[in-house]
Structure 1
Amino acid sequence: MEQNEASLQAATAQQPVSVGIDADGFIFQLYSSGVFTCFCGNHLNHGVTIVGYGEEDGQKFGIESSDTSFNTNIEDSLYTTKSKHMEQNEASLQAATAQQPVSVGIDADGFIFQLYSSGVFTCFYGNHLNHGVTIVGYGEEDGQKYWIVKNSWGTGWGEQGYVRMERGYSEETGKCGIDMLASYPTKFGIESSDTSFNTNIEDSLYTTKSKHMEQNEASLQAATAQQPVSVGIDADGFIFQLYSSGVFTCFCGNHLNHGVTIVGYGEEDGQKYWIVKNSWGTG
């Protein structure tokens, strides 16, 4: 979007919006409630999601999460999505996962998890939450129940970027703390036509349906014309890492090791290009 609040508000009226903020200050880190009006810088070092906005006693504010429903008329005094935090137990998590993907925190510090390659992960683990992943389904194999979890470490990790984590490990915390901090945003009137759900939570397997395009530029362009598209790229080379401006035409490999988002495409002086959002800050 354009770098102004009007554009940000208009975008937030349509869907949650990912933004970068300066979260270094202890005043922000110790925030507990109310509208945050304290001074902070603009050194972007932390990613959050705006899920709504409102006004209270003449003070306008953005909403990071809320349990209230929302109004899609952006001229109204309050708009917010509904961010649902479940009870901390596996039954609630399973019921929520039957409706949509669910964001969770887990303990991913140990090398055993980091070196996971396949199968149901049943190793003993702590519950110090330090990594965010997404539960996209659940299943059962030979009597072993599991969660289907999408990680962000590329398709070379685990089972094509996914891990099956033991389900039913602990009602209080779950495997690696997976039950402890689960939530999902919902947006009235917006559903993915490419997502199918099985709401019978007793079924042996439930997954969302993630659309993978044919491996060609025409399919990628057609998809990008409809919505942002998540892709993997080879970002190992220093030439890419030191990129500053212009159309990147330098050679790079195809060892996928980094996730980015294509948000558009264009052409300049006969040179076609993708517009790609990275996660390395605005600098």
Structure 2
Amino acid sequence: MARSDPTSAFQLRPGERIAVGAGAGKLPIELVGALVASGHRPFVVLIEGEADASSPVLTDQDHWIMPLERIGDLAARFRREGVTHLVMAGGVSRRPRLRSVRPSLGILHMAPRILASLARGDDNLLRAIVRYYEGLGITVVGAHQILPDLLAPPGVLTLRVPSARDRDDLKAAAIAARAIGALDIGQAAIAIGGRAVALEGIEGTDGLLRRTVELRSNGRIEGRAGGALVKCAKPTQELRVDLPTIGVGTVELAHAAGLAGIGVEADRSIVLDMGAVTARADELGLFVVGLVERDWAT
């Protein structure tokens, strides 16, 4: 399943240094571990309340535990640390509280571009952040550029193969996920019986799956066995940040929700610890499949 050597996927020239903006989940830990193993010396920004500050993989490096309201101080900190590249990884469950943002020269520079985006969708905000740092001369790279094997390949990844009915659910969920993505609402949808029944909102994919558990328990989708979760990149997605991501927890929640399986957009979605994801899906009898455009366009 491996398509390239992660250790050769990303290289820095002498004198260059990469920062890792670490949010929640395992992805920042995998990234930092891979960078260190490849001989790099990353500077790690642990977002307070999100990143795993107990992980020695993160805290053994030069690091800063940053409250979101101190985001305006990052540019100066990057200059002091000699940062030339930036990768952002992991979830962030909230946005900075505007009234608590610390006044600084950096925040004044950011204000026209980033603070205005706080009132808009996540994709707008992330693209604004990328443009801001690129304007400072920092190269923004994607997690998948460092670890290409994180990307879901096309095709079925599990022992279970989607049935014709499952394929109908995958198509319906993919169409719905693309539609809400175009509105910068979310990346995921669930279809049961060939029609979309639940869409991802601000609560994220885990919240969507828990809501589906409730829908089944209260009889709103009673008697409709199976169904599929699909995650797709938004049509205007900044592909270097916030790619759709699933992990073992996603598989377990999908099973709890009574779904038959999961589809992710191939080559534009991340599967964290693919071996563990496919093994758990096989154990629970779910399918996991990498979808390409023809899977929902036909």
TM-score past 0.5 threshold: no
From the two aligned structures, give the one with the greater strand fraction. Answer: 1
What range is the shorter-chain TM-score in? under 0.3
Bigger radius of gyration: 1
In the superposition, the TM-score normalised over structure 2's length comes to 0.23
From the two aligned structures, give the one with the greater helix fraction. Answer: 2
The structure, 1 or 2, with the larger RCO (C-alpha pairs under 8 Å, 6+ apart) is 2
In the superposition, the TM-score normalised over structure 1's length comes to 0.24
